Chain A
């Protein structure tokens, strides 16, 4: 792992050189390919160096963060074009990536916590620095304080665990089991907010609406997965407590998922719609994860990877039309089929991925999650059926409203999609559909 870390560290001085935007971007692609070759399908920790290492669980998420971060640079070309503090932007993203890689690959719970918290800061900078409206201040405060309010108790919980077990290593901690309610809530709540679970999800749509495209991509692509990753790690020594309390979280996230899907159906802001849809998806992930069945754990991991690619791609698409039309409103972003017919294909493909259509990884994830949740309790079938129906409904609403119908009459002139944008879409979509051919890398990590 250390080679990745050092690579990223030595990438930071390059960020300060002028006209190095694309170099940094290519370098990030390069490191993600290197990392791709480092895969050895070990179910135990491998690539161990310093305090870092990765097993299959962290491998996928590290790869996802490398990939998404390089796509972030590809997506926010406007920062480069208008020189909107591009050096600082590059530096910020490289540091964010560094912290994320460290988060996913650290083998001790405390180090995980440290970098988990740290990755919040560059995200905050991204929203405050490169956001559009003055409301971004509020969004930043929401982001920071929702997360910190619950993660500081988690720090106390972590130290409690350390005093009891004498070790912070994930692998060693699996041998312990804690039957202590307060500890359970301390450790879990931080991840539930980060996921985000319904009722504590309010920071997410706010942050998405105010963030620039790169901020939205990293939030939907990686930051939400931090919560799921943390849950997958800590649930192993909180199993008994989870059996006692998991019904609360599962029912909140199932009912909340349906409610959030209904909220999606009345959005007029493209980004807000995608943000709420990711809350709904994360609800299923959370519910499946907390059933603690084999299907559930594997499916939640698969859907996390899939959702990271798919919603990040949708945010890119929203940004593509935002850059042309200057608005994210559905009343203005309509009839885009006339405007950019080739981009409509990508809208279609990524929307169908979002509603878990067959060849995508989302489908695999959702099927196994449905399996696990139904096996947990058959009553949840009611909510699940609503959930999957509405997820198709709002994605269709998003697709048909933005692509079909009459073109907004205020548009004066237009430019079609650029090669960069098509490449961006392809690189989101391709892994999403190819990974199903190698789905044991996602489904058989346990």
Chain B
């Protein structure tokens, strides 16, 4: 609990700081409190994951510190950026911190060793601070490259995975690409995208966490009290994939609309096509639920959720499936 609080404080310090040094400090606080959270249990995998996380993040922080000092030495100021080379170093350090594409290699490996709740934190909360800092930089080329690489790698990498955590990691990289591209246009769209992404991935990880699902083949032998319930739970995946009738389409819609306004057609086409590939592996996860009749084992893992969780969960699923209609209702009302 202590560490979670400190972690949140670290992020807040980063987000609210008005100098790069302060931002660096917040990131360090955030990192050092996240590590004890990771290696909480005696699992060897998680220790390894925390070590990996520490090494990469420490590297990124060092580079960030170095470059911000460099900036200060050159400009005698530590908050204004018009230096392209230094800001490129800062940018790459931040991309490394957030796990965006050219620097993404630690991310799926590390996810493999985490519990679902830690994975959720890594996928959502830990992205706030670096992405906020990236939004301060106005350097387009590296960001553009990173967006393209993120969406493509996120899509291709997830294709052959059987581990759900790695799948979620690659899908997170893909979504990160979308978030970075929305950062190029406007911060509020980024915020909306991030909130919706967090909501949808929260629903999914919550489900995986309750039922202790870690691999693709567990899904076929997993049985909720009714198939219909399972069916509706897995529709969240289509929502995460951004298919139209679901809530997940809304942030994508906003980003697409804004990008067409900025004439970024090539980038947009690439992003959409790669999202199609992510949709393919989401759909593969959903097979066990959407095929109502298939050959089953005689023994099935029957797990019961307690009713509080179920209610909360069903409400969230309802929003994730029908949310787009509700939002459009509000839109047309005002």
A377 at the A/B interface (Cβ < 8 Å)? no
Interface residues of A in 117-159 (CB under 8 A from B): 117-118, 120-121, 124-125, 128-130, 134, 136-137, 140-141, 144-145, 148-149, 152-153, 155-156, 159
Pick the contact of B256 from A84, A130, A156 — CB < 8 Å?
A: A156
Q: Do residues B269 and A118 form an inter-chain contact, with CB atoms below 8 A? A: no
B-side interface size class:
20 to 34
Question: CA separation between A118 and B253, bound complex, in Å?
Answer: 14
B139 at the A/B interface (Cβ < 8 Å)? no
Are A145 and B280 also in contact (CB < 8 A) when A118-B244, A129-B291 are? yes
Q: Do residues B291 and A137 form an inter-chain contact, with CB atoms below 8 A? A: yes
Q: Mark B320-334, 1 if CB is under 8 A from A, else 0.
A: 000000000000100
Pick the contact of A155 from B245, B256, B293, B332 — CB < 8 Å?
A: B256
Q: Do residues A152 and B292 form an inter-chain contact, with CB atoms below 8 A? A: no
Quote the shortest CB–CB distance from A27 to chain B (angstroms): 21
Question: CA separation between A160 and B257, bound complex, in Å?
Answer: 9
Pick the contact of B265 from A84, A117, A145, A156 — CB < 8 Å?
A: A156
Q: Do residues A88 and B231 form an inter-chain contact, with CB atoms below 8 A? A: yes
A87 at the A/B interface (Cβ < 8 Å)? yes
Query: Which secondary structure dominates where chain A touches chain B?
Result: helix
Quote the shortest CB–CB distance from A391 to chain B (angstroms): 35
Q: Do residues B245 and A99 form an inter-chain contact, with CB atoms below 8 A? A: yes
Q: Do residues A128 and B290 form an inter-chain contact, with CB atoms below 8 A? A: yes
Q: Give chain A residues whose Cβ lies under 8 Å from the Cβ of B245.
A: 99, 114-115, 117-118, 121
Question: CA separation between A283 and B231, bound complex, in Å?
Answer: 37
Q: Do residues A159 and B257 form an inter-chain contact, with CB atoms below 8 A? A: yes
Q: Give chain B residues whose Cβ lies under 8 Å from the Cβ of A149.
A: 273, 276
Question: CA separation between A216 and B310, bound complex, in Å?
Answer: 36
Q: Give chain B residues whose Cβ lies under 8 Å from the Cβ of A117.
A: 243-245
Q: Give chain A residues whose Cβ lies under 8 Å from the Cβ of B227.
A: 85
B238 at the A/B interface (Cβ < 8 Å)? yes
Pick the contact of A159 from B260, B269, B283, B332 — CB < 8 Å?
A: B260
Q: Give chain B residues whose Cβ lies under 8 Å from the Cβ of A137.
A: 287, 291
Interface residues of A in 219-243 (CB under 8 A from B): none
Q: Give chain A residues whose Cβ lies under 8 Å from the Cβ of B204.
A: none
Q: How many residues of A contact B (CB 8 A)?
A: 35
A414 at the A/B interface (Cβ < 8 Å)? no
Query: Which secondary structure dominates where chain B touches chain A?
Result: helix
B228 at the A/B interface (Cβ < 8 Å)? yes
Q: Do residues A153 and B269 form an inter-chain contact, with CB atoms below 8 A? A: yes
Interface residues of A in 80-119 (CB under 8 A from B): 84-85, 87-88, 99, 114-115, 117-118
Are A156 and B272 also in contact (CB < 8 A) when A85-B292, A129-B291 are? yes
B279 at the A/B interface (Cβ < 8 Å)? yes
Question: CA separation between A193 and B129, bound complex, in Å?
Answer: 44
Q: Give chain A residues whose Cβ lies under 8 Å from the Cβ of B279.
A: 144, 148
Question: CA separation between A51 and B329, bound complex, in Å?
Answer: 11
Interface residues of B in 78-130 (CB under 8 A from A): none
Question: CA separation between A51 and B325, bound complex, in Å?
Answer: 13
A50 at the A/B interface (Cβ < 8 Å)? yes
Question: CA separation between A117 and B332, bound complex, in Å?
Answer: 21
Are A121 and B256 also in contact (CB < 8 A) when A84-B293, A141-B280 are? no
Q: Do residues B260 and A156 form an inter-chain contact, with CB atoms below 8 A? A: yes
B1 at the A/B interface (Cβ < 8 Å)? no
- In this complex, what residue of A is CB-closest to B277? A145
- In this complex, what residue of A is CB-closest to B271? A152
B21 at the A/B interface (Cβ < 8 Å)? no
B268 at the A/B interface (Cβ < 8 Å)? yes
Q: Give chain A residues whose Cβ lies under 8 Å from the Cβ of B249.
A: 114
Q: Do residues B228 and A152 form an inter-chain contact, with CB atoms below 8 A? A: no
Quote the shortest CB–CB distance from B292 to chain A (angstroms): 4
Q: Mark B238-268, 1 if CB is under 8 A from A, else 0.
A: 1000011100010000001100110001001
A409 at the A/B interface (Cβ < 8 Å)? no
A163 at the A/B interface (Cβ < 8 Å)? yes
Q: Give chain A residues whose Cβ lies under 8 Å from the Cβ of B283.
A: 140-141, 144
- In this complex, what residue of A is CB-closest to B244? A117
- In this complex, what residue of A is CB-closest to B252? A155
Question: CA separation between A137 and B257, bound complex, in Å?
Answer: 32
Question: CA separation between A297 and B256, bound complex, in Å?
Answer: 33
Q: Give chain B residues whose Cβ lies under 8 Å from the Cβ of A152.
A: 269, 272-273, 275-276
Q: Do residues B269 and A156 form an inter-chain contact, with CB atoms below 8 A? A: yes
Q: Give chain B residues whose Cβ lies under 8 Å from the Cβ of A140.
A: 283, 290
Q: Do residues A129 and B292 form an inter-chain contact, with CB atoms below 8 A? A: yes
Q: Give chain B residues whose Cβ lies under 8 Å from the Cβ of A159.
A: 256-257, 260-261
Quote the shortest CB–CB distance from B319 to chain A (angstroms): 17
Quote the shortest CB–CB distance from A312 to chain B (angstroms): 23
Q: Do residues B260 and A125 form an inter-chain contact, with CB atoms below 8 A? A: no
Question: CA separation between A118 and B279, bound complex, in Å?
Answer: 15
Q: Do residues B261 and A163 form an inter-chain contact, with CB atoms below 8 A? A: yes
Q: Do residues A160 and B269 form an inter-chain contact, with CB atoms below 8 A? A: no
Q: A88-B231, A128-B290, A149-B276 are known contacts; what are 8 more A-B pairs with Cβ within 8 Å?
A: A85-B228, A118-B244, A152-B276, A153-B269, A155-B256, A156-B256, A156-B268, A159-B261
A-B contact pairs, 15 of them (CB 8 A): A85-B292, A114-B245, A117-B243, A121-B244, A125-B231, A128-B287, A140-B283, A148-B276, A149-B276, A152-B269, A152-B275, A152-B276, A155-B272, A156-B256, A156-B265
Show the binding face of A for B, using Cβ within 8 Å. 50-51, 84-85, 87-88, 99, 114-115, 117-118, 120-121, 124-125, 128-130, 134, 136-137, 140-141, 144-145, 148-149, 152-153, 155-156, 159-160, 162-163
3 tightest A-B CB contacts, nearest first: A118-B245, A117-B244, A159-B260
